[in-house]
Structure 1
Amino acid sequence: MEEEGLERDIAGEQDQSPTLFGERLPFLYIGAPLGVLASLVMFYIESRQASWLRASSALMFPVFAPLLLYWMHRDRSTYEHGLRGMALLIVLSLISGALLNFSSPILLIWIPVIPLSYVLLLGHARAVRWNVATLLGLIVAYILFPVMNDGARPVSVLIFGVSLLAASVSMLLSWHHYRELSVYQRRLYEQASYDGLTGAMMREPGMEILARFMSQADRQPAQAVSVALLDLDDFKRINDEEGHLAGDRVLQGVTAEVRAHIRGGDYLIRLGGEEFLIIFPGMQAEEAYALSETLRQRIPAVTDGLSRRPVTTSIGLAQYRPGEALGQLLGRADHLMYAAKTTGKNKVCTDMASSGQPTGATESAG
């Protein structure tokens, strides 16, 4: 159901949100100068022990890292590209240095640091892929070193292997920490995003998701979005006459039925009290109407015995019109739901005909 889609959203947002990119930039203001200083020291050491050509690879980071930092500082919208550029610069500096200087153990000092650098720059999910690619690149560079350097011998296989092992341990520990942290983050997010009684999504995150689908529909008008505003009829009388425990049982029964019948990519949101919103991404109003009508018909049966009163629902169904505001869409759905209430309740009301959709029943009575 909607939890699966939300978990994918959480995973993506943890590593790729603009806020997170912005929070990483201050760390780069410290880390990048340290990296520049370390690279210059390596250049000095290598230039005294080998040719200037072999030492020149150590200048790659000091030359380009400040330019990337300046670019990200000037244009905050370039965070993601800048961080990827910084990661790519590290890869090129390390592997080019390895191709020319794998006979020096100094280069191996930096290999275990690379996994943590990628975590800072790219987030944990991407860092794993970049780390694997970098380690494979270093293995290739180790094999090609004698070819590139007239038969010179690189550091021993044992020393190189220990360096790779240290990098792998660093990567695994970082990933384990991320997995533990993400579990707690997901629990906190779910507690803030889902109603504890019904399991439906809360209003605020639900509105964010609806706004996202509306933006997608603006870019791709063929990608329809329909919403159904569902309100239980005379619910207050159940609470007043039978108590809130009975009302809670009814709410749980209704939401369980809705969740069992909507698609995996649909979203059920509790707006408050006995009022719910269903988001149907990619669904035209006529198809959403048929599903809403099925739910309207089933709710009295699935709640039979949960209350002494028969439980019915009034539904207002609206399809998003490209360009309209979120409040306008919800306002239309609310107006249609109110129309269902005032014309007898236990109905689905829609404005398909007025919105240019294929004409059909604009309301259905039980």
Structure 2
Amino acid sequence: MALDPQTLLVVNVVNLLALAILLPVIMGRALSPAAHAARLSLIVHAGAWIAVILSEQWDTRWPNLVLSAISMACFSTSNWLLYQALGRWLGPRRFAPLLLALVIAMPIGYVLLFDSYAWRVGWSNALIALQIAILASATLNSSSALRGRWRHALFICCSTMATLTLARGILGAFFSELYPNFAAPHPINLLALVVANATLVLTNVSVLVAWREEAEQQLRDQAVIDPLTTILNRRGWNEQAERAFANARRYRQPLALLSLDLDHFKRVNDEHGHEKGDEALRLFGQLMREQQRSGDIVARIGGEEFCVLLPMAEAGAARAFDHRLRSALHARAAATLGFPLDYSAGLACLADESELGALLLRSDEALYAAKDAGRGRLIEHRSTAAAT
């Protein structure tokens, strides 16, 4: 039985509409920005195909032009929204300015070239193909915790559709008599429509799997992230610090540990209220994130107590961290909180400890010495303690 392009178009739209209706039910309302953009991309994509079918029903210029232009704008917008979702899921992507320029230029050029069938078909398909190729590249090289195989499925879908869309553009631009309209029964067009239906399903499955992986990652983060300061909690610190400690021992690398405690924090709560106390903790967590090096592990391990593990660091690097953190706190506490804030710190560097707990015990002992010495200072645990 011969394939009917018009039927394939209708099937494509029906599938898209069904998914557009089901996705909000399946995914719910409380979506991350990435999941929301991905879902909206699929809904806009359905609108693009509806506009394509409606445009084919008009022989007069203006209705055809308007509906066709709307479909081109929707296709481009859908690609941009999916790209935004990938950027939020996988980390910043490389070609955002180029894609945005293509998204804006494609429908504008389509309208300007509308009276030349060959030019408008060649232009629109070439630019959409390039947009989809950028989407394919955006599925690669994740810089986030999301690295699922859904990226591979999406890469295959985008790469295949980019190739067929470009082929359809070449066909319309240089062999217009073989491809006089979107419903032409040319083998390339038929193949593109069949593949569009298949990739539609795979793309939706990929989006759902990405959304699930994101939700699972958020649950993992909630288990190891302190919700107030948004740095690691004790559990998260133990997991990461144990690995860093084991690596330092295995490869005989330097390692420094700072135990920190905000000074007179009970007085902060008593005199300024618990909301100000929470604000002080948030500020301190923010400053720790700002001052940490790549690879440093910062955490709130309870109350007003914090820890910093510095891989590949001697005492001097730990003291430099303490100096940066203390200077930033002195500079910003009064302006942000309305009162000064300081902390005491204990430093221990890896010697012959076989367990992280032993190193942490030494840094805690140095912290208690800093408190006994008057607070607001760092003391290093060594044979002859030195205060700064």
After TM superposition, the score normalised by the length of structure 1 is 0.50
Aligned equivalent of 2:289: 259
Amino acid of the structure 1 residue aligned with 2:322: S
Aligned equivalent of 1:271: 301
The answer (yes or no) to whether the contact 2:255–2:314 under 8 Å persists in 1 is yes
Distance 1:258 1:127 in 2: 34
Q: Does 1:338 align with 2:368?
A: yes
- Unmatched 5+ stretches in structure 1: 1-122, 137-156
Distance 2:200 2:192 in 1: 12
Amino acid of the structure 1 residue aligned with 2:211: E
Matches within 5 A, 1:1-366: 124-125=148-149, 128=152, 172-222=203-253, 224-305=254-335, 310-321=340-351, 323-351=353-381, 354=383, 362-364=386-388
Aligned equivalent of 1:74: none
Distance 2:322 2:280 in 1: 18
The answer (yes or no) to whether the contact 2:248–2:255 under 8 Å persists in 1 is yes
User: Which deviations, in whole Å up to 9, do the C-alpha atoms of 1:203-223 show, x marking residues without a partner?
Assistant: 10111100000111122113x
User: Which deviations, in whole Å up to 9, do the C-alpha atoms of 1:16-58 show, x marking residues without a partner?
Assistant: xxxxxxxxxxxxxxxxxxxxxxxxxxxxxxxxxxxxxxxxxxx
Change (3 A) 1:266 1:253: same
Change (3 A) 1:231 1:176: same
Deviation at 1:293, TM superposition (A): 2.5
Deviation at 1:229, TM superposition (A): 0.8
The answer (yes or no) to whether the contact 1:238–1:307 under 8 Å persists in 2 is no
SS at match of 2:149: helix
Q: Once the two structures are aligned, what percentage of the paired residues are identical?
A: 30
Aligned equivalent of 1:92: none
Deviation at 1:349, TM superposition (A): 0.9
- Unmatched 5+ stretches in structure 2: 1-146, 161-187
Amino acid of the structure 2 residue aligned with 1:342: D
Change (3 A) 1:175 1:313: same
Distance 2:151 2:289 in 1: 36
Distance 1:164 1:299 in 2: 58
The answer (yes or no) to whether the contact 1:233–1:311 under 8 Å persists in 2 is yes
User: Which deviations, in whole Å up to 9, do the C-alpha atoms of 1:136-185 show, x marking residues without a partner?
Assistant: 9xxxxxxxxxxxxxxxxxxxx9xx99999998677645533321111111
RMSD of Structure 2 on Structure 1 (CA): 3.5
Amino acid of the structure 1 residue aligned with 2:271: E
Distance 1:319 1:205 in 2: 21
Amino acid of the structure 2 residue aligned with 1:287: A
Q: How many residues align?
A: 215
After TM superposition, the score normalised by the length of structure 2 is 0.48
Deviation at 1:199, TM superposition (A): 1.3
Deviation at 1:225, TM superposition (A): 2.3
Distance 2:259 2:387 in 1: 14
Change (3 A) 1:211 1:166: farther
Distance 1:280 1:176 in 2: 38
Change (3 A) 1:247 1:124: closer
The answer (yes or no) to whether the contact 2:151–2:206 under 8 Å persists in 1 is no
Change (3 A) 1:196 1:127: closer
The answer (yes or no) to whether the contact 1:124–1:175 under 8 Å persists in 2 is no
SS at match of 1:265: coil
Amino acid of the structure 2 residue aligned with 1:332: R
Amino acid of the structure 2 residue aligned with 1:341: K
Aligned equivalent of 1:41: none
SS at match of 1:304: helix
